[in-house]
Amino acid sequence: MAAQDTDSSSHHVQEAWDWLSVSCDAATRAESRFRNLFNKIAQRGIDEARRENPAQPSLVDLRDIHFQPTEEEKQQLRDAYLEWQAFKIIWAEKEEAYSFVKDTGRPFSASEKASRGVDEAKLKLLQFFVKPAFYILVTIAALIVIAHATI
């Protein structure tokens, strides 16, 4: 009986580890997608600043760089950022579940999941707050770029 419990426990730990690995990979891919989009737009601004100053293309002043994403790029950035944040939340939940399984040898029961608030409603509510936070972050970044350009 003890051997069966050990096998079951190691199975639960392995299953939780697999879920944690998948969610970690998904979060990493989403973050990479966001950073690649952001860097592409920033690089376009750097290239434009270099074209405006052909005498010294390697000495581009940060104040000369214009971070101006198109509407489509803004939407892609928003979507990528929200996806990244959602996967970070899922990753944290899976990490908590893995720690629990590793410590106890069994997965969360339905009542434990409910008591910890690991459900979709919480994720959707958090996304509701993440989206305005992203808009605020982009607005602040734009104001900083504008402030540097006018100084």
Q: What is the pTM of this model?
A: 0.50
111-135: per-residue pLDDT in tens? 666 556 555 666 666 777 777 778 8
> Helix 71-104 to helix 2-52 angle, to the nearest 10 degrees?
160
All structural domains of the chain with their residue ranges: 2-150
**Which pLDDT tens digit goes with each residue over 71-87?**
898 888 888 888 888 87
Yes or no: say if 133 and 82 are a contact pair by the CB < 8 Å rule.
no
